Protein backbone atom coordinates (compact mmCIF):
# COMPACT_ATOMS: atom_id res chain seq x y z
CA UNK A 1 0.00 0.00 0.00
CA UNK A 2 2.80 2.42 0.88
CA UNK A 3 4.37 2.13 -2.61
CA UNK A 4 1.13 3.24 -4.21
CA UNK A 5 1.08 6.53 -2.33
CA UNK A 6 1.74 9.70 -4.35
CA UNK A 7 4.83 11.70 -3.38
CA UNK A 8 3.38 15.17 -3.63
CA UNK A 9 1.38 17.16 -1.07
CA UNK A 10 -1.90 17.60 -3.01
CA UNK A 11 -1.90 13.92 -3.98
CA UNK A 12 -1.25 12.77 -0.39
CA UNK A 13 -3.91 15.10 0.99
CA UNK A 14 -6.38 13.76 -1.55
CA UNK A 15 -5.51 10.25 -0.33
CA UNK A 16 -6.06 11.33 3.30
CA UNK A 17 -9.44 12.88 2.40
CA UNK A 18 -10.59 9.62 0.83
CA UNK A 19 -9.40 7.54 3.79
CA UNK A 20 -11.08 9.93 6.26
CA UNK A 21 -14.34 9.55 4.41
CA UNK A 22 -14.09 5.74 4.62
CA UNK A 23 -13.12 5.82 8.33
CA UNK A 24 -16.08 8.12 9.01
CA UNK A 25 -18.49 5.79 7.23
CA UNK A 26 -17.14 2.83 9.16
CA UNK A 27 -17.40 4.62 12.52
CA UNK A 28 -21.04 5.41 11.76
CA UNK A 29 -21.70 1.80 10.74
CA UNK A 30 -20.16 0.67 14.03
CA UNK A 31 -22.29 3.21 15.91
CA UNK A 32 -25.43 1.87 14.21
CA UNK A 33 -24.46 -1.64 15.39
CA UNK A 34 -23.99 -0.35 18.96
CA UNK A 35 -27.40 1.37 18.85
CA UNK A 36 -28.89 -1.93 17.78
CA UNK A 37 -27.05 -3.72 20.62
CA UNK A 38 -28.68 -1.18 22.96
CA UNK A 39 -32.14 -2.04 21.60
CA UNK A 40 -31.47 -5.77 21.96
CA UNK A 41 -30.38 -5.23 25.59
CA UNK A 42 -33.51 -3.16 26.28
CA UNK A 43 -35.74 -5.92 24.94
CA UNK A 44 -33.90 -8.61 26.91
CA UNK A 45 -34.37 -7.32 30.43
CA UNK A 46 -35.80 -4.87 32.91
CA UNK A 47 -32.54 -3.29 34.00
CA UNK A 48 -30.28 -3.55 30.93
CA UNK A 49 -26.52 -3.39 31.37
CA UNK A 50 -25.25 -1.10 28.67
CA UNK A 51 -21.68 -0.77 29.89
CA UNK A 52 -19.87 -4.12 29.63
CA UNK A 53 -16.32 -3.83 31.02
CA UNK A 54 -15.34 -7.40 30.05
CA UNK A 55 -16.35 -6.85 26.42
CA UNK A 56 -14.56 -3.47 26.26
CA UNK A 57 -11.37 -5.04 27.63
CA UNK A 58 -11.57 -7.81 25.01
CA UNK A 59 -12.11 -5.31 22.17
CA UNK A 60 -9.15 -3.18 23.30
CA UNK A 61 -6.86 -6.19 23.78
CA UNK A 62 -7.72 -7.42 20.29
CA UNK A 63 -6.97 -3.96 18.84
CA UNK A 64 -3.52 -4.10 20.43
CA UNK A 65 -2.84 -7.70 19.38
CA UNK A 66 -3.63 -7.22 15.70
CA UNK A 67 -1.99 -3.80 15.43
CA UNK A 68 1.04 -3.68 13.15
CA UNK A 69 1.85 0.03 13.13
CA UNK A 70 3.12 2.55 12.41
CA UNK A 71 0.62 3.74 15.04
CA UNK A 72 1.68 2.38 18.45
CA UNK A 73 -0.47 -0.23 20.23
CA UNK A 74 -1.42 2.07 23.07
CA UNK A 75 -2.25 5.02 20.84
CA UNK A 76 -4.39 2.78 18.64
CA UNK A 77 -6.21 1.39 21.68
CA UNK A 78 -6.82 4.94 22.90
CA UNK A 79 -8.49 5.83 19.59
CA UNK A 80 -10.74 2.78 19.89
CA UNK A 81 -11.37 3.67 23.52
CA UNK A 82 -12.93 6.93 22.28
CA UNK A 83 -14.89 5.23 19.50
CA UNK A 84 -16.40 2.79 22.02
CA UNK A 85 -17.13 5.65 24.41
CA UNK A 86 -19.13 7.40 21.67
CA UNK A 87 -20.93 4.13 20.81
CA UNK A 88 -21.85 3.47 24.46
CA UNK A 89 -23.18 7.04 24.80
CA UNK A 90 -25.55 6.30 21.90
CA UNK A 91 -26.89 3.32 23.86
CA UNK A 92 -27.02 5.27 27.14
CA UNK A 93 -24.69 8.08 28.32
CA UNK A 94 -22.93 6.91 31.50
CA UNK A 95 -22.97 9.17 34.56
CA UNK A 96 -19.59 8.88 36.27
CA UNK A 97 -19.04 10.18 39.80
CA UNK A 98 -15.45 10.87 40.82
CA UNK A 99 -13.40 12.55 43.51
CA UNK A 100 -13.51 16.13 42.27
CA UNK A 101 -13.45 18.99 41.70
CA UNK A 102 -12.97 19.21 37.92
CA UNK A 103 -9.32 18.85 37.03
CA UNK A 104 -8.26 16.17 39.54
CA UNK A 105 -6.16 13.14 38.63
CA UNK A 106 -9.25 11.07 39.45
CA UNK A 107 -11.13 12.86 36.66
CA UNK A 108 -8.20 12.15 34.35
CA UNK A 109 -8.44 8.47 35.35
CA UNK A 110 -12.18 8.42 34.67
CA UNK A 111 -11.64 9.82 31.16
CA UNK A 112 -8.83 7.33 30.53
CA UNK A 113 -11.11 4.46 31.51
CA UNK A 114 -14.46 5.51 30.02
CA UNK A 115 -13.36 7.89 27.24
CA UNK A 116 -14.73 11.42 26.89
CA UNK A 117 -18.38 10.69 26.03
CA UNK A 118 -19.61 10.55 29.62
CA UNK A 119 -21.53 12.79 31.98
CA UNK A 120 -19.06 13.80 34.72
CA UNK A 121 -20.18 14.18 38.33
CA UNK A 122 -17.36 15.61 40.47
CA UNK A 123 -17.97 15.07 44.21
CA UNK A 124 -16.01 16.48 47.16
CA UNK A 125 -15.21 13.25 49.06
CA UNK A 126 -14.55 9.55 48.51
CA UNK A 127 -17.58 8.43 50.59
CA UNK A 128 -19.80 10.74 48.58
CA UNK A 129 -18.70 8.98 45.39
CA UNK A 130 -19.67 5.64 46.98
CA UNK A 131 -23.03 7.04 48.15
CA UNK A 132 -23.88 8.57 44.78
CA UNK A 133 -23.36 5.23 43.02
CA UNK A 134 -25.20 3.29 45.76
CA UNK A 135 -28.17 5.67 45.44
CA UNK A 136 -28.23 5.31 41.64
CA UNK A 137 -27.37 8.98 41.00
CA UNK A 138 -24.39 7.78 38.97
CA UNK A 139 -23.85 4.55 37.03
CA UNK A 140 -20.23 4.19 38.18
CA UNK A 141 -17.71 5.89 40.42
CA UNK A 142 -13.93 6.39 40.28
CA UNK A 143 -11.78 6.55 43.44
CA UNK A 144 -8.01 6.48 44.04
CA UNK A 145 -6.74 3.36 45.86
CA UNK A 146 -2.95 3.37 45.94
CA UNK A 147 0.09 5.34 44.88
CA UNK A 148 3.46 3.82 44.05
CA UNK A 149 5.31 6.36 46.22
CA UNK A 150 2.89 7.05 49.06
CA UNK A 151 1.06 3.72 49.46
CA UNK A 152 -2.64 2.99 49.89
CA UNK A 153 -5.47 5.48 50.16
CA UNK A 154 -6.78 4.12 53.48
CA UNK A 155 -10.07 5.91 53.23
CA UNK A 156 -11.04 4.05 50.05
CA UNK A 157 -10.15 0.64 51.52
CA UNK A 158 -12.04 1.37 54.74
CA UNK A 159 -15.16 2.45 52.84
CA UNK A 160 -15.29 -0.93 51.05
CA UNK A 161 -15.73 -2.74 54.36
CA UNK A 162 -19.33 -1.54 54.64
CA UNK A 163 -20.28 -0.73 51.05
CA UNK A 164 -22.39 -3.12 48.94
CA UNK A 165 -20.70 -1.81 45.76
CA UNK A 166 -18.55 -3.98 43.52
CA UNK A 167 -15.21 -3.16 41.96
CA UNK A 168 -15.70 -3.42 38.20
CA UNK A 169 -12.46 -2.04 36.86
CA UNK A 170 -9.05 -0.55 37.56
CA UNK A 171 -7.08 2.27 35.94
CA UNK A 172 -3.44 3.13 36.31
CA UNK A 173 -2.26 6.65 35.71
CA UNK A 174 1.31 7.94 35.54
CA UNK A 175 1.22 10.96 37.79
CA UNK A 176 3.19 13.99 36.69
CA UNK A 177 3.19 16.95 39.02
CA UNK A 178 3.78 20.49 37.87
CA UNK A 179 4.62 23.63 39.80
CA UNK A 180 2.04 26.19 38.70
CA UNK A 181 1.58 29.87 39.35
CA UNK A 182 -0.82 32.67 38.36
CA UNK A 183 0.34 34.45 35.15
CA UNK A 184 1.14 37.56 37.24
CA UNK A 185 3.77 35.63 39.24
CA UNK A 186 5.44 33.97 36.25
CA UNK A 187 8.46 36.25 36.45
CA UNK A 188 8.41 36.78 40.21
CA UNK A 189 8.80 33.27 41.54
CA UNK A 190 10.87 34.64 44.45
CA UNK A 191 7.81 36.39 45.92
CA UNK A 192 5.90 33.13 46.47
CA UNK A 193 4.97 32.74 50.15
CA UNK A 194 2.73 29.67 50.10
CA UNK A 195 2.51 26.42 48.14
CA UNK A 196 -0.81 24.54 48.02
CA UNK A 197 -1.45 20.93 47.06
CA UNK A 198 -2.99 17.66 48.18
CA UNK A 199 -1.02 16.11 51.04
CA UNK A 200 0.01 13.09 48.90
CA UNK A 201 1.28 15.37 46.12
CA UNK A 202 3.30 17.47 48.57
CA UNK A 203 4.82 14.21 49.83
CA UNK A 204 5.55 13.01 46.30
CA UNK A 205 7.45 16.23 45.53
CA UNK A 206 9.12 16.67 48.93
CA UNK A 207 12.75 16.52 47.77
CA UNK A 208 12.16 18.92 44.89
CA UNK A 209 10.41 21.38 47.23
CA UNK A 210 13.19 21.12 49.84
CA UNK A 211 15.74 21.93 47.13
CA UNK A 212 13.91 24.70 45.31
CA UNK A 213 11.65 26.26 47.91
CA UNK A 214 13.17 25.61 51.34
CA UNK A 215 11.36 27.54 54.03
CA UNK A 216 8.28 28.39 51.93
CA UNK A 217 5.03 27.38 53.71
CA UNK A 218 3.35 24.22 52.39
CA UNK A 219 -0.40 23.90 52.78
CA UNK A 220 -2.28 20.61 52.32
CA UNK A 221 -5.78 20.97 50.87
CA UNK A 222 -8.48 18.51 49.72
CA UNK A 223 -7.31 18.11 46.13
CA UNK A 224 -4.81 19.45 43.60
CA UNK A 225 -7.64 21.11 41.74
CA UNK A 226 -8.66 22.97 44.90
CA UNK A 227 -5.00 23.99 45.35
CA UNK A 228 -4.92 25.36 41.80
CA UNK A 229 -8.15 27.28 42.44
CA UNK A 230 -6.73 28.86 45.62
CA UNK A 231 -3.49 29.83 43.86
CA UNK A 232 -5.48 31.40 41.02
CA UNK A 233 -7.30 33.61 43.54
CA UNK A 234 -4.21 34.83 45.43
CA UNK A 235 -1.17 36.83 44.41
CA UNK A 236 1.42 35.16 46.64
CA UNK A 237 0.79 31.45 46.09
CA UNK A 238 1.71 28.53 43.85
CA UNK A 239 0.08 25.11 43.50
CA UNK A 240 1.27 21.63 42.65
CA UNK A 241 -0.93 19.46 40.49
CA UNK A 242 -1.56 17.96 37.07
CA UNK A 243 -1.91 19.67 33.71
CA UNK A 244 -5.71 19.46 33.85
CA UNK A 245 -5.76 21.51 37.06
CA UNK A 246 -3.48 24.17 35.53
CA UNK A 247 -5.69 24.45 32.45
CA UNK A 248 -8.89 24.47 34.52
CA UNK A 249 -7.76 27.43 36.64
CA UNK A 250 -5.66 29.32 34.07
CA UNK A 251 -2.29 28.86 35.82
CA UNK A 252 1.09 28.93 34.10
CA UNK A 253 3.33 25.88 34.51
CA UNK A 254 6.67 27.06 35.93
CA UNK A 255 8.32 23.62 36.30
CA UNK A 256 7.13 20.27 34.92
CA UNK A 257 7.44 16.71 36.24
CA UNK A 258 8.70 17.69 39.68
CA UNK A 259 7.78 14.37 41.34
CA UNK A 260 10.70 12.74 43.18
CA UNK A 261 10.04 9.27 41.69
CA UNK A 262 9.99 9.32 37.89
CA UNK A 263 7.60 6.35 37.62
CA UNK A 264 5.10 7.72 40.12
CA UNK A 265 1.82 5.89 39.38
CA UNK A 266 -1.60 5.97 41.00
CA UNK A 267 -4.12 3.16 40.74
CA UNK A 268 -7.84 3.95 40.72
CA UNK A 269 -10.84 1.66 41.05
CA UNK A 270 -14.12 1.76 39.17
CA UNK A 271 -17.04 1.01 41.48
CA UNK A 272 -20.52 -0.03 40.41
CA UNK A 273 -23.61 -1.95 41.43
CA UNK A 274 -23.17 -4.99 39.17
CA UNK A 275 -20.76 -7.89 38.96
CA UNK A 276 -18.62 -8.23 35.83
CA UNK A 277 -18.27 -11.39 33.72
CA UNK A 278 -14.87 -12.89 32.91
CA UNK A 279 -12.85 -11.15 30.18
CA UNK A 280 -10.19 -13.88 30.13
CA UNK A 281 -7.58 -11.79 32.00
CA UNK A 282 -9.06 -10.73 35.30
CA UNK A 283 -8.37 -9.82 38.89
CA UNK A 284 -10.48 -10.41 41.99
CA UNK A 285 -10.29 -8.16 45.03
CA UNK A 286 -11.13 -9.80 48.35
CA UNK A 287 -11.57 -8.55 51.86
CA UNK A 288 -10.69 -11.19 54.45
CA UNK A 289 -10.86 -11.01 58.18
CA UNK A 290 -9.28 -13.97 59.92
CA UNK A 291 -9.09 -15.14 63.51
CA UNK A 292 -6.27 -13.55 65.46
CA UNK A 293 -4.16 -16.67 66.05
CA UNK A 294 -0.67 -17.79 64.99
CA UNK A 295 -0.64 -19.15 61.44
CA UNK A 296 -3.98 -17.64 60.35
CA UNK A 297 -2.40 -15.44 57.67
CA UNK A 298 -0.06 -18.24 56.61
CA UNK A 299 -3.00 -20.67 56.21
CA UNK A 300 -4.85 -18.15 54.07
CA UNK A 301 -1.91 -17.50 51.75
CA UNK A 302 -1.06 -21.19 51.56
CA UNK A 303 -4.58 -21.98 50.25
CA UNK A 304 -4.03 -19.64 47.27
CA UNK A 305 -0.56 -21.06 46.60
CA UNK A 306 -1.88 -24.65 46.66
CA UNK A 307 -4.37 -23.79 43.90
CA UNK A 308 -1.71 -22.01 41.83
CA UNK A 309 -3.33 -18.60 42.27
CA UNK A 310 -1.13 -15.51 42.05
CA UNK A 311 -1.61 -12.68 44.52
CA UNK A 312 -0.72 -9.26 43.14
CA UNK A 313 -1.35 -7.32 46.36
CA UNK A 314 -1.95 -7.77 50.06
CA UNK A 315 -2.77 -4.92 52.39
CA UNK A 316 -3.73 -5.03 56.05
CA UNK A 317 -5.96 -2.54 57.89
CA UNK A 318 -7.20 -2.45 61.46
CA UNK A 319 -10.75 -3.86 61.47
CA UNK A 320 -11.94 -1.29 64.04
CA UNK A 321 -13.66 -4.12 65.90
CA UNK A 322 -11.51 -4.76 68.97
CA UNK A 323 -7.78 -4.25 69.33
CA UNK A 324 -5.32 -6.19 67.23
CA UNK A 325 -7.86 -7.47 64.74
CA UNK A 326 -7.04 -6.89 61.14
CA UNK A 327 -8.73 -7.15 57.77
CA UNK A 328 -6.72 -8.04 54.69
CA UNK A 329 -7.30 -6.69 51.21
CA UNK A 330 -6.07 -9.11 48.58
CA UNK A 331 -5.91 -8.96 44.79
CA UNK A 332 -5.85 -12.38 43.13
CA UNK A 333 -5.00 -12.77 39.44
CA UNK A 334 -8.13 -14.76 38.49
CA UNK A 335 -11.85 -14.24 38.04
CA UNK A 336 -14.20 -15.22 40.82
CA UNK A 337 -15.76 -17.83 38.46
CA UNK A 338 -12.40 -19.57 38.03
CA UNK A 339 -12.70 -23.10 39.53
CA UNK A 340 -9.48 -22.58 41.53
CA UNK A 341 -10.91 -19.41 43.09
CA UNK A 342 -14.18 -21.14 43.84
CA UNK A 343 -12.29 -24.00 45.55
CA UNK A 344 -10.36 -21.57 47.78
CA UNK A 345 -13.53 -19.65 48.69
CA UNK A 346 -15.31 -22.93 49.55
CA UNK A 347 -12.38 -23.90 51.76
CA UNK A 348 -12.48 -20.51 53.52
CA UNK A 349 -16.23 -20.90 54.10
CA UNK A 350 -15.51 -23.85 56.41
CA UNK A 351 -13.09 -21.81 58.56
CA UNK A 352 -13.60 -19.11 61.18
CA UNK A 353 -13.01 -16.25 58.80
CA UNK A 354 -15.02 -13.57 57.06
CA UNK A 355 -14.62 -13.24 53.30
CA UNK A 356 -16.16 -10.55 51.11
CA UNK A 357 -15.63 -10.61 47.34
CA UNK A 358 -15.24 -6.95 46.42
CA UNK A 359 -15.39 -7.75 42.73
CA UNK A 360 -13.81 -9.41 39.71
CA UNK A 361 -12.79 -7.14 36.86
CA UNK A 362 -10.52 -7.03 33.78
CA UNK A 363 -6.85 -6.27 34.39
CA UNK A 364 -6.29 -2.71 33.11
CA UNK A 365 -5.65 -2.70 29.35
CA UNK A 366 -4.57 0.92 28.91
O1 LIG B 1 -21.00 -5.26 23.08
C2 LIG B 1 -21.75 -4.56 23.75
O3 LIG B 1 -22.40 -5.01 24.70
C4 LIG B 1 -21.93 -3.13 23.40
O5 LIG B 1 -22.74 -2.48 24.01
C6 LIG B 1 -21.06 -2.51 22.37
C7 LIG B 1 -19.87 -1.77 22.95
C8 LIG B 1 -18.94 -1.34 21.78
O9 LIG B 1 -19.06 -0.20 21.34
O10 LIG B 1 -18.20 -2.18 21.30
C11 LIG B 1 -20.33 -0.57 23.69
C12 LIG B 1 -20.47 -0.56 25.05
C13 LIG B 1 -20.13 -1.67 25.90
O14 LIG B 1 -19.54 -1.25 27.08
C15 LIG B 1 -19.29 -2.67 25.22
C16 LIG B 1 -19.12 -2.67 23.86
Summarised one tens digit per residue, pLDDT across range 302-331 is 999 999 999 999 988 877 665 557 789 999
Measured by CA distance, the residue closest to atom 1 of ligand 1 is: 55
Q: Same domain, yes or no, for 74 and 113? A: no
pLDDT at 281: 98
Q: Same domain, yes or no, for 293 and 312? A: yes
Query: Domain containing 288 — which CATH number?
Result: 3.30.70.260
In a domain, 52, yes or no: yes
| Residue 320 structural domain | 282-362
Given 216, 249, 272, the domain boundary residue is 272
- Strand pairing class (217-221; 194-198): parallel
Of 29, 32, 34, 40, best ligand 1 pocket probe by most atoms within 8 Å of the beta carbon: 34
Give the ligand 1 atom nearest the CA of 87.
9
Distance of alpha carbon 285 from alpha carbon 163, whole angstroms? 14
- ipTM score of complex: 0.99
Query: Is the minimum distance from the CB of 276 to ligand 1 under 6 angstroms?
Result: no
Distance of alpha carbon 20 from alpha carbon 314, whole angstroms? 48
Distance of alpha carbon 301 from alpha carbon 310, whole angstroms? 10
Given 90, 108, 128, the domain boundary residue is 90
Residue 157's CB is within 10 A of a number of other CB atoms, namely: 20
pTM: 0.91
Given 74, 90, 106, the domain boundary residue is 90
In a domain, 259, yes or no: no
- Strand pairing class (217-221; 265-272): unpaired
On the question of pLDDT at 2 being above 90, the answer is: no
In a domain, 246, yes or no: no
Distance of CA 55 from the midpoint of ligand 1 (Å): 7
Distance of alpha carbon 140 from alpha carbon 148, whole angstroms? 24
Closest CA to 195 of 207, 181, 184: 181
Q: Same domain, yes or no, for 43 and 100? A: no
Query: Domain containing 149 — which CATH number?
Result: 3.40.190.10
Question: Structurally, how many domains does the chain consist of?
Answer: 4
pLDDT at 101: 86
Amino acid sequence: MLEQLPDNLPGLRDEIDQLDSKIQQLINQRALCAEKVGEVKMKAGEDPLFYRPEREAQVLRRVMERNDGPVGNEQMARLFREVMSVCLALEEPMKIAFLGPEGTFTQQASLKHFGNSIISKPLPAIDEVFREVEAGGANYGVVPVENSTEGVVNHTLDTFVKSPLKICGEVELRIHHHFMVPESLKNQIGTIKRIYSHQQSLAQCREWLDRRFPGVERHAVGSNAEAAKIASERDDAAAIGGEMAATQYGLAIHASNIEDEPDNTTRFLIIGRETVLSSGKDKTSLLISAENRPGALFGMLEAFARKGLDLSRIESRPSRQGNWNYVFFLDVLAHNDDPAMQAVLEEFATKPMLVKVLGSYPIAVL
